Amino acid sequence: MNSAQIEIQLIASLVAIACAIPGTFLVLRKMAMISDAISHSILPGIVVGFFITQDLNSPLLILLAAFTGIITVVLVEYIQKTGLVKEDTAIGLVFPALFSIGVILIAKNANDVHLDVDAVLLGELAFAPFDRLFIEGTDVGPKSLWIIGSILLITITLLLAFFKELKLSTFDKGLAASLGFSPVIIHYGLMSVASVTTVGAFDAVGAILVVALMIAPAATAYLLTTDLKKMLSLAIGFGVLSAISGYWFAHWLDASIAGSITTMLGFIFLIVFLFAPSKGIIAVMYREKQQRTEVSLLTFLLHLKNHTEERERHVNHLQEHINWQKVRAKTVLDLAQKNNMITMNKNIVSLTNKGDTFTSKAIDYIITNEDAQIEDMKEDFFLFRG
């Protein structure tokens, strides 16, 4: 690895971390789309900022552009508050309008601005190491590294200071307000961080990837944990993992780094979406299948409880009578036997004491819907796990 490669990976990783932190809260606040809006509508801010400062990495430009991000949020909320259109429509109206102003500004001044729409959308991570910061003539590293590093430092400081406030106002705005933690201040604080991060990351990774880095790692982490702190760490981990693996994927393919990182983000999400232990698609399908079997089991046990006569309890009769296919009937019989709920004698099925108690308890639960009694049953059966 040469130093440029290390620098690119370092920049990509810092961007990933800086995005994952506000991204986690955006996902939990169901505001993922607002990051898309911000990432596009900061374009006019960047262009105007560039006219003024003539330097894409100037802090003033970052603030100006971030301010456009805040304007987006304010406009979206204003339009939404009129009640004439819904939030998603408001977002869809505001950001293309602002973005197109940026596009026109670039096109009109294309000669003297070294910005083009491709670079804005996809970023130029590969070139980041060439634009270096010199302090008193000494090369201290790529400018983007310093910018995103400073933004990350601010983000982490704010997160550590206001973690409790962020959590509270994200979970329960009303309580936050009544306890004196203004949800409006926290909301705009978060939006400012998201805007500044977007601008800071923009030059390196482009508008599309910024959105992906904010949303995908958080969405992936959400499927794996039920703890906010773990969700934050996992989101950061997935972001960095995608950044580094994406870089090498691009290296191998000789393709766009931003595109490859986004691909990795999508790939990791897909894997987790399929295989997450409790919220993944496969786990959910397995659980539903189990539940169907357990409902069948309960139906079967209830039938046994209601019918003492042998003819009703013959295995063949069960198949005809309850109208189950052989496989289903066998699964249910096996499950019941495994749990010592039935005994079989010459193909005549009878309930054991345990089976009898279980059936009464289960029926009781279904009728009264009281939780306390069946806490112990939850361990054995999916059906009662809510």
Residues that bind another protein (CB under 8 A): 28, 30, 83, 161-165, 167-168, 170-172, 174-175, 177-181, 222, 225-228, 230-231, 368-372, 385-386
Query: Is the Cβ of residue 22 or residue 45 nearer to another protein in the bound state?
Result: 22
CB of 14 to another protein, least distance (A): 25
Nearer to another protein, 137 or 174 (CB): 174
CB of 176 to another protein, least distance (A): 8
| CB 365 to another protein: min, Å | 11
| Cβ closest to another protein, residue 94 vs residue 176 | 176
Rg (CA), the chain: 29
91 vs 113: CA distance, rounded Å: 28
Length of the chain: 386
Question: CA 307, CA 286: separation in Å to the nearest integer?
Answer: 32
For the bound state, the minimum distance from the C-beta of residue 226 to another protein, rounded and expressed in Å, comes to: 4
Cα distance between residue 272 and residue 60, in whole Å: 40
CA–CA distances in Å: residue 162 to residues 15, 153, 156, 318: 21, 14, 10, 62
Q: Which is nearer to another protein, 25 or 99 (CB)?
A: 25
Helical segments of 223-280, H only: 228-253, 257-275
- Rounded to a whole number of angstroms, the minimum distance from the CB of residue 85 to another protein is 15
218: which 2 tokens? 């958080």
CA gap 57, 273 in Å, rounded: 37
Q: Which of 340, 103, 125, 157 is nearest to 247 (CA)?
A: 125
Which one, 37 or 221, has the nearer CB to another protein? Answer: 221
